[in-house]
Amino acid sequence: MIVAAVQAELGPLPGHALGVGPLRAAVAMARLIAEHNPQHVILIGSAGAYSADYPIGRAFVSGALGTQDGAAALGLAYTPLAPAPIATDPALAARLALPSARVLTVSAISTDPALRARLAADWDLEHMEAYGAALACQAAGVPFAAVLGVSNEVGPEAHAQWLQHRAAAERAAQAVLQRIASEA
């Protein structure tokens, strides 16, 4: 099963939109698993990069998936019993044949330079739905991976860059699934 936050990210691929944000993604993913009983789930979409090692326009497969509150990352709050990172299914990741990235799910796009610096210490890419979908898959025992095309650098210019590069990032992610479909 292929999923994305919104229908536009799926492009020509058959799949399901989860909605924007980690909570919508988790709820929608749990419902789709119950309705369709998929063998595996691949989430596709666009992501922001914390470093130039993850260039705009390239696609990456998730390695570890995590979630973090921005206020907690800056030491302004804390999260009791913070959720543990989730590992991407290794067989699914191998089949996707992409470089791996540590993907952080946030509930709002990070634009503050201090927050970016703190999150970049532990994560490679920022995305808003991956952890929610992965958590639902983990609970149901369904293998999960995310394929994300980089659309922007995390920081103050994120939205402008996302607008400029979103389509190319989405096509990069879609191309990976199209390649796999043609090999089957």
pLDDT in tens, 94-136: 999 999 999 999 999 999 999 999 999 999 999 999 999 999 9
pLDDT tens for 127-183 read 999 999 999 999 999 999 999 999 999 999 999 999 999 999 999 999 999 988 877
pLDDT tens for 43-65 read 999 999 999 999 999 999 999 99
Ordered domains of the chain (ranges, CATH): 2-183 (3.40.50.1580)
Contact (Cβ atoms closer than 8 angstroms) between residue 130 and residue 92: no
The per-residue pLDDT for 80 is 87
The per-residue pLDDT for 75 is 83
* Distance, CA of 121 to CA of 123 (rounded, Å): 6
User: DSSP of 17-61, one letter per residue?
Assistant: E--SSHHHHHHHHHHHHHHH--S-EEEEEEEEESSTTS-TT-EEE
The per-residue pLDDT for 184 is 63
pLDDT tens for 4-18 read 999 999 999 999 999
Amino acid letter at 77? Answer: A
Q: Give me the numbers of helices (H) and strands (E) for the chain, helices first please.
A: 7, 8
User: Three-state SS across 53-71?
Assistant: CCCCCCEEEEEEEEECCHH
pLDDT tens for 61-89 read 999 999 998 888 888 898 888 899 999 99
CA distances from 5 to 13, 22, 52, 151, 175 (A): 13, 9, 25, 15, 17
Half-sphere exposure of residue 26: CA atoms within 13 angstroms, side-chain side? 13
The per-residue pLDDT for 73 is 86
Q: What is the dihedral of CA 39, 37, 106, 110, to 10 degrees?
A: 70
CA nearest 106: which of 62, 154, 151, 171?
Answer: 154
